[in-house]
């Protein structure tokens, strides 16, 4: 079998450590992914070599001491995707802030397995002799499709609360089951997810919502009691008597949604936000995105998608200028994904949406979004001073162009003169 370059690079790292007399094994996520027949995103090597020994062996210039105090060194590959993380076998001292151990001790592979989060993430693999080292029952859980904490689930969740969300993410994205004791531990600890930084929580939300199994992820997060502390504004969707259907509606929408885009999926999650009116809806969306420390780009897009969620309604009777402006919007492809999932989840007519899609697909871009016939400079040349009417005039001229009432620059000049005269 032919292996990828990152795979080969990670084999070479193991070989070099072995040749120097150290133990070295692949560890964690890559071992899991290979057994699932999936291409790992990256390869992690675990070794008994100390961080300094790793740096000495590979050379300072070819290594980065990213987390030397935790025993982590990056060995640079000949291309960026061939970097390999080399970590010294370690156990972790007490967790002080619910997220990070106070200190680590360097130790054996077997003990290193015990500090990992879930059994399927706790295996080692020797790529040279093709053998698995499984000290935690990972292989059997992988075969039975179970996510199970290593050791005492409650203690493991108490140590590091990010594991609460990781458990949901792995269960959902792999479409596995959560072991019952692990699930109960998560339920018990759920409210404490808020000790994890909003950025890290948001990162987990991104991974869950980007995945096609996003519906399963949100259902699990909700039933484990994790979604409420993360987005309290949504809670009445499932807590209010009689409104369970709104949450079911949301899950259905997420299930139907076809997107590769986080903002679209997040907007789909927030679409039925229980609020009094549209203004409050947009304010709440803003607050949620801010609270999760979304980038401005993410925030603006989620906000726009929710604001525009009904803007396709009645499209076939829109003026051409209104229709073309909507369809030419750079984020329109995301809006149409969102609206489609929403309409389908409520068994509503897709006629407006199909009309938009047809029109867009059959209209050349120079008709849909033509370069303007006149610009601000032309207005200045015509002696118009900049001010509120400036933009208004340009819009009126562009409307006429989009509505195909005028076609040339001369037409536009003539219209401009008319408009000025009528002022
Ligand atoms: P993916 O990269 O696909 O999200 P992964 O399992 O590779 O999954 P990483 O965050 O890259 O996840 O971590 C690599 C390995 O480190 C994990 O497989 C696990 O063994 C261990 N690990 C990561 N985060 C934790 C944690 N919070 N608690 C305990 N062990 C962890
Ligand atoms: Mg990984």
Q: How far is the CA of 269 from the centre of ligand 2 (A)?
A: 26
Q: Whose CA is nearest to atom 1 of ligand 1?
A: 29
Q: Whose CA is nearest to atom 3 of ligand 1?
A: 29
Q: Which domain holds residue 389?
A: 372-422
**In ligand 1, which atom is closest to the CA atom of 30?**
7
Q: Whose CA is nearest to atom 6 of ligand 1?
A: 29
For residue 76, the domain's CATH number is 3.30.460.10
Three-state DSSP state, 121:
helix
pLDDT of amino acid 118 = 98
Average pLDDT on 196-224 reads 98
The preferred substitution site among 117, 133, 150, 193 for testing ligand 1, maximizing ligand atoms within 8 Å of CB, is 117
Residue 183 lies in a domain: no
Over 80: is that where the pLDDT of 88 sits?
yes
Task: Please indicate, yes or no, whether residues 396 and 356 belong to a single structural domain of this protein.
Answer: no
Contact 322, 308 (CB under 8 A): no
Residue 216 lies in a domain: no
Q: How far is the CA of 27 from the centre of ligand 2 (A)?
A: 10
CA angle (228, 188, 165) in 5-degree steps = 55
| Per-range mean pLDDT, top range of 238-242, 373-377, 390-394, 402-406 | 402-406
Three-state DSSP state, 383:
coil
Domain count, the chain: 3
Over 90: is that where the pLDDT of 240 sits?
no
Output the ligand 1 site: residues, CB below 6 A. Answer: 28-29, 41, 44, 116-117, 121-122, 160, 162-163, 166
Closest alpha carbon to 227 in 303, 309, 160, 172: 172
The preferred substitution site among 25, 27, 29 for testing ligand 1, maximizing ligand atoms within 8 Å of CB, is 29
Domain final position from 113, 144, 175? 144
Task: Please indicate, yes or no, whether residues 3 and 112 belong to a single structural domain of this protein.
Answer: yes
Other residues' Cβ atoms within 10 Å of the Cβ of residue 148: 25
Task: Please indicate, yes or no, whether residues 308 and 363 belong to a single structural domain of this protein.
Answer: yes
Task: Please indicate, yes or no, whether residues 343 and 393 belong to a single structural domain of this protein.
Answer: no
Domain final position from 144, 173, 192? 144
Task: Please indicate, yes or no, whether residues 248 and 358 belong to a single structural domain of this protein.
Answer: yes
Distance CA 405, CA 423 (A): 20
Residue 161 lies in a domain: no
Residue 225 lies in a domain: no
pLDDT of amino acid 1 = 61
What pLDDT, in 10s, does the model give residues 296-308? 999 999 999 999 9
pTM of the entire structure?
Answer: 0.93
Q: Whose CA is nearest to atom 30 of ligand 1?
A: 116
Task: Please indicate, yes or no, whether residues 18 and 109 belong to a single structural domain of this protein.
Answer: yes
Task: Please indicate, yes or no, whether residues 30 and 71 belong to a single structural domain of this protein.
Answer: yes
Residue 203 lies in a domain: no
**In ligand 1, which atom is closest to the CA atom of 40?**
3
């Amino acid at each position: 079998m032919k292996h990828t370059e990152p795979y080969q690079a990670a084999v070479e790292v193991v070989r070099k450590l072995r040749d120097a007399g150290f133990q070295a094994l692949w560890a964690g996520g890559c071992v899991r992914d290979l057994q699932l027949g999936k291409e790992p995103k990256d390869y992690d090597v675990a070794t008994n070599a100390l961080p300094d020994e790793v740096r000495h062996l590979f050379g300072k210039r070819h290594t980065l001491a990213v987390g030397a105090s935790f025993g982590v060194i990056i060995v640079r590959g000949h291309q960026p995707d061939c970097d390999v993380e080399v970590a010294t076998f370690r156990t972790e001292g007490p967790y002080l802030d619910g997220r990070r151990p106070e200190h680590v001790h360097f130790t054996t592979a077997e003990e290193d397995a015990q500090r990992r989060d879930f059994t399927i993430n706790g295996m080692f693999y020797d790529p040279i002799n093709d053998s698995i080292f499984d000290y935690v029952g990972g292989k059997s859980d992988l075969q039975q499709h179970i996510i199970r904490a290593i050791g005492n689930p409650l203690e493991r969740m108490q140590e590091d609360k990010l594991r609460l969300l990781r458990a949901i993410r792995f269960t959902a994205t792999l479409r596995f089951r959560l072991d019952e004791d692990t699930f109960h531990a998560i339920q018990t600890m759920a409210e404490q997810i808020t000790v994890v930084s909003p950025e890290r929580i948001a990162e987990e939300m991104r991974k869950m919502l980007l995945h096609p199994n996003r519906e399963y992820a949100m259902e699990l997060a909700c039933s484990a009691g994790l979604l409420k502390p993360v987005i309290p504004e949504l809670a009445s969707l499932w807590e209010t008597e009689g409104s369970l259907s709104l949450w079911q509606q949301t899950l259905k929408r997420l299930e139907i949604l076809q997107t590769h885009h986080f903002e679209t999926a997040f907007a789909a999650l927030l679409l039925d936000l229980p609020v009094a009116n549209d203004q409050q809806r947009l304010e709440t969306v803003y607050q949620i995105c801010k609270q999760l420390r979304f980038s401005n780009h993410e925030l603006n897009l989620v906000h726009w998608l929710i604001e525009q969620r009904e803007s396709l309604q009645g499209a076939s009777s829109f003026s051409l200028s209104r229709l073309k402006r909507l369809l030419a919007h750079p984020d329109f492809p995301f809006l149409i994904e969102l609206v489609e999932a929403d309409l389908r989840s409520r068994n509503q007519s897709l006629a407006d949406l199909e009309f938009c899609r047809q029109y867009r697909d059959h209209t050349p871009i120079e008709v849909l979004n033509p370069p303007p016939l006149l610009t601000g400079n032309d207005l200045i040349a015509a002696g118009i001073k900049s001010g509120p009417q400036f933009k208004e005039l340009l819009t009126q001229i562009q409307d006429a162009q989009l509505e195909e009432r005028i076609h040339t620059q001369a037409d536009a000049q003539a219209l401009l003169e008319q408009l000025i005269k009528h002022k």
